[in-house]
């Protein structure tokens, strides 16, 4: 068979290969973006699961926009009147956005390094990604404005809270400035916020969308605070956009399944949901602290990293060596981590000194051993010893 | 916001508007393609639902190809070694096929009238649909060969068993001839078979794919024999195609949710699953018989229809009057049916004398009243009386 151009160019994800290797026995994996399996809130949906078969109407066809009680729950917690659309995870929201708003050859802005899943969506739709450099306080505003001034930008894909892979959080000033720029140039802002609720230190900031709701599309993930395995997410945005996205959703898979939406609705409305979030944040803070301590104690000057106040990732910069080589050697030492180069478009190799370390899916007690393996990988001579 | 051309051109489905009207009180709906709610096999998955919360690993991220036990189940029942990919219903399989194989402007063949969901997928991808006329034994083979000879056809989208909306079944001769033609011209055959297991009379025939597996993609739906609300379907095809489709699947929504795949796997492997299928076929045969009797007794020469041996639909030809007008008047008489024009591309109004009647989602006792309402809609003068 002959394949479509964009489909053929879609690389098998490097992360996916690492995740496959990560299933080997004895492997410690800090490669994925998985929530802690031991903290999945299954008890909060036990009653819903147990009563599913008594509610056979949940197994019949449903509406493309979503399951009514879940839509109502999301609307109640919204700061705007923008409608919601339920998707198969926020990953599908990205794909629906691309198909609703972008033509092949269109240009979008994305912070670099970037969430690989977003890059894949853009690649699949034949979209050109303009790389936006960022620092600890957020994206480079001068570079952003220079792109916007060019006039050919259709949207800005952003992850302002605990960015994947860097863990960075935009400052309040940056949020306000970005909203103002998007308004001035009439460019759509996509705010992807899967890690926003995972703040374990510092103060929660306004979303960027709150400062420009009329041209913002907000993504909601239940994979980090709930259950990734159900594949339920959502997005809200201007009504005309959601109407078009809903028609695309209908054409692509009719609707997201109902029992899984009922489980998410039950989770969000469970009286112990906020306790679960507290437990989750504490669990991730503890994991982060164990990792941070081990990195400082065992690796010292070999690496640098900014502290994080939430999310799932530490962005580790090596003071020497090539991070792709180090990641490959780490696999031999039974440690899976992702080299920075994986978070750039294939034709844009801007990074060879960083590693992304996930801390949410590793039990705290394992971090000293994990970092010990990383230390071994950082010393190539040790391999031949 | 400015929308992408193909997204904007995607019409709000006419059927969807009718289905919305179909929710009005007192309405009898024969408009949708829903299975009988009273025959959904919820008891066969009760134990699985009740034990979900004890299997928290089902709530973690999974593989893009699908849940291992479900893939194994499908492979065991396969007549070929072609691999499977789990999708969000077979609707998503169609979208993945379009994205894997087709470029905007490419041409595909579809039997007319056609499944509206397939037309929407092709429209969304900017694909040109070449209409293939069909009769009771299947598609017009001369017209098919003439299209194939033209050399610009990328694939043939077919529904050989209990076609939606006509209820037609291809003869064995037609199946063999189509497979031969696809082979001769090297054109991919997509075999959509959601109603295949719903045969309540006559003999089951070979799939078309069995006669040309190397260029066939077979779709599997669990929405008609299981639960549409879960949104789980599958497709099998040549390994290189499934590999590309899996990468697209990963980019668009990572994977289909695991608990819902576990429920389908439990259903298919339940010792009473074949009894459920027998009950379902008997139930649909009874509904069809009630409808058929009522049509003959109450409408006589006003309509014509071919008998069906399975599926969910009767394709009713009016001997007088415009079917879109009749469908609109039927709504006023609290009966929802879909006029034939809804099953053609918007620019191809080839039909104004047929109605699609669904018989699977209406309780048998209601058919005399449903057909009575249709009789009233067929007599426009009665409206003003």
Give the whole-angstrom CA distance, residue B234 versus residue B191: 12
Higher pLDDT: B25 or B183? It is B183
Determine the Cα–Cα distance for residues B33 and B228; give it in Å rounded to an integer: 10
Closest partner residue to B43 (CB to CB) among A3, A53, A62 is A53
Q: Which of B91, B101, B254 sits opposite A254 (nearest CB)?
A: B91
Cα–Cα distance between B338 and B326 in angstroms, integer? 10
Tell me the two tokens of residue B76. Answer: 């065991």
pLDDT in tens, B46-94: 999 999 999 999 999 999 999 999 999 999 999 889 999 999 999 999 9
Residues B317-363 have pLDDT tens digits of 999 999 999 999 999 999 999 999 999 987 776 778 999 999 999 99
How far A298 CA lies from chain B's nearest CA (Å)?
31
Domains observed in chain B: 5-41+274-379 (3.90.1150.10), 57-269 (3.40.640.10)
CB-nearest to A10 from B8, B87, B248 is: B248
Contact call for residues B155 and B190 (beta carbons, < 8 A): yes
- Provide the shortest C-alpha distance from residue A233 to chain B (in Å): 10
How confident is the model at residue B376, as a pLDDT?
96
With CA atoms as reference, the chain A residue closest to B154 would be A2
Residue B84 pairs with which residues in a beta bridge?
B236
The CA-based dihedral angle spanning residues B86, B89, B93, B94, taken in that order and rounded to the nearest 10 degrees = 180
Closest CB from B6, B228, B260 relative to A260: B260
Question: Cα separation of B123 and A315, whole Å?
Answer: 43
- B12 confidence band (pLDDT: 50, 70, 90): low
| Predicted model pTM | 0.96
Distance CA A114, CA A132 (A): 9
pLDDT at A156: 98
A84 near A235, Cβ under 8 Å?
A: yes
Per-position pLDDT tens, chain A of length 385: 899 988 887 876 666 677 777 778 899 999 989 999 999 999 999 999 999 999 999 999 999 999 999 999 999 999 889 999 999 999 999 999 999 999 999 999 999 999 999 999 999 999 999 999 999 989 999 999 999 999 899 999 999 999 999 999 999 999 999 999 999 999 999 999 999 999 999 999 999 999 999 999 999 999 999 999 999 999 999 999 999 999 999 999 999 999 999 999 999 999 999 999 999 999 999 999 999 999 999 999 999 999 999 999 999 999 989 999 999 999 999 999 999 999 998 777 677 899 999 999 999 999 999 999 999 999 864 444 4
Encoding tokens for residue B346?
Answer: 């918007």
B14 Cα to chain A: minimum distance (Å): 12
State the pLDDT confidence band at B380, using cuts at 50, 70 and 90.
low
Cβ-based neighbours of B16, under 8 Å, separated by 6 or more: A64, A250
Task: Count Cβ–Cβ pairs < 8 Å, chain A vs chain B.
Answer: 229
Pairwise CA distance, residues B295 & A336, whole Å: 67
Nearest alpha-carbon partner for B82 in B169, B203, B191, B5: B191
- Tell me which chain B residue has its CA closest to the CA of residue A33: B61
Tell me which chain A residue has its CA closest to the CA of residue B215: A1
* A1/B61 touch (CB, cutoff 8 Å), yes or no: no
Distance CA A271, CA A261 (A): 18
Q: Are A60 and B100 within 8 A, CB to CB? A: no
List the single residue in B with minimal CA-CA distance to A67: B229
> Rounded distance, CA A49 to CA B63, Å?
22
Q: Pick A244's closest partner by Cβ from B3, B92, B244.
A: B3
CB-CB neighbors (< 8 A) of B87 in chain A: 253
> Residues near A240 by Cβ (< 8 Å), separated by ≥ 6?
B1
Q: Which of A6-15, A232-241, B113-122, B166-175 has the lowest mean pLDDT?
A: A6-15
C-alpha distances in Å from residue A188, one per residue of A105, A127, A129, B230: 17, 15, 15, 33
Rounded to a whole number, what is the distance in Å from the CA of A157 to chain B's nearest CA? 15
Q: Could you give the strand order of the β-sheet that contains A84-87, starting from the edge strand earlier in sequence?
A: A84-87, A233-236, A216-221, A188-192, A153-158, A107-112, A128-135, A138-139
Task: Report yes or no: A31 and A338 within 8 Å, Cβ to Cβ.
Answer: yes
Best interface-test mutation with B: which of A235, A251, A260 has the largest number of B CBs within 10 A? A251
The dihedral built from the CA positions of residue A289, A291, A297 and A303, taken in this order, carries a sign that is: negative
Q: Which tokens in the block code for residue A284? A: 């991730």
Top residue of A59, A87, A122, A216 to mutate, by most chain B CBs within 10 Å, is A59
Phi-psi region of B134 (alpha: psi -120 to 50; beta: other; left: phi over 0): beta
């Amino acid at each position: 068979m002959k394949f479509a151009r964009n489909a053929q160019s879609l690389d098998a994800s490097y992360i996916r290969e690492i995740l496959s290797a990560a299933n080997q026995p004895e492997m410690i994996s800090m490669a994925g973006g998985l929530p802690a399996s031991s903290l999945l809130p299954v008890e909060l949906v036990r009653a819903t699961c147990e009563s599913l078969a008594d509610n056979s109407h949940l197994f019949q066809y449903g509406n493309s926009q979503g399951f009514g009680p879940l839509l109502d729950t999301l609307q109640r917690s919204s700061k705007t009147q923008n409608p919601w659309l339920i998707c198969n995870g926020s990953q599908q929201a990205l794909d629906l956005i691309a198909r609703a708003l972008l033509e092949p050859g269109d240009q979008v802005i994305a912070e670099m390094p970037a969430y690989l899943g977003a890059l894949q969506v853009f690649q699949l739709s034949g979209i050109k990604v303009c790389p936006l450099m960022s620092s600890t306080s957020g994206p480079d505003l001068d570079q952003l404005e220079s792109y916007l001034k060019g006039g050919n930008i259709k949207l800005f894909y952003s992850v302002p809270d605990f960015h994947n892979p860097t863990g960075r959080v935009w400052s309040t000033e940056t949020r306000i400035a970005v909203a103002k720029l998007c308004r001035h140039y009439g460019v759509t802002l996509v705010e992807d916020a899967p890690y926003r609720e995972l703040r374990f230190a510092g103060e929660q900031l306004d979303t960027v969308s709150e400062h420009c709701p009329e041209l913002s599309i907000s993504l909601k993930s239940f994979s980090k605070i709930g259950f990734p395995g159900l594949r339920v997410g959502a997005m809200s945005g201007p009504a005309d956009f959601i109407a078009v996205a809903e028609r695309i959703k209908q054409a692509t898979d009719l609707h997201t399944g109902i029992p899984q939406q009922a489980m998410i609705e039950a989770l969000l409305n469970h009286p112990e949901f906020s306790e679960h979030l507290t437990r989750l944040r504490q669990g991730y803070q503890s994991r982060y602290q164990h990792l941070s301590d081990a990195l400082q104690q065992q690796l010292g000057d070999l690496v640098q990293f900014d502290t994080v106040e939430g999310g799932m990732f530490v962005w580790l910069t090596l003071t020497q060596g090539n991070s792709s080589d180090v990641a490959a050697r780490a696999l031999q030492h039974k440690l899976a981590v992702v080299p920075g180069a994986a978070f750039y478009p294939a034709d844009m190799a801007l990074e060879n000194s960083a590693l992304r370390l996930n801390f949410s899916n590793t039990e705290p007690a394992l971090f000293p051993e994990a970092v010990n393996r990383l230390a071994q990988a950082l010393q190539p001579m040790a391999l031949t010893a």
